[in-house]
Amino acid sequence: MFTGDSISGKEAAEIGVAARAVHADQLEAEVEKLAARISLVDPTLLTTNKMAVNRVFDEMGMRTAFDAAMDLDTIAHTAEAVQEFSRLSREEGLKSALEANEAPFRQSPRPF
């Protein structure tokens, strides 16, 4: 995550960042199947379960982590690299900005 490398959905699932990966042409159907399955749960129980999960996250300090992430994101937006990315994106387009941002990583071998 700290390398800037893009990873596929399959790789994300393999390393535990995503629960699973499906092909793009199957995504909508898979989402519909999951939503249909979730809809079988009584709404009161589903809401109560979601509240329980949120309470556990709160006890783990998740809200504090989110607040810290927002603070640090604000600071990060003042970084020279972010300012340059924004300038390139505005002046030359997003594709150009992404290419410039990713160039150093393409020249360096992936560690895994």
Mean pLDDT, contiguous 10-residue spans, the chain (112 residues) = 80 92 95 96 96 95 94 94 95 95 84 71
pLDDT given at position 6: 79
pLDDT given at position 1: 61
Q: Which of 16, 15, 18, 42 is nearest to 30 (CA)?
A: 18
Q: What are the CA-CA distances from residue 94 to residues 37, 73, 97, 98, 100 (Å)?
A: 38, 20, 5, 6, 10
10: left (phi over 0), alpha (psi -120 to 50) or beta: alpha
pLDDT given at position 35: 96
pTM to 2 decimals? 0.55
pLDDT given at position 4: 72
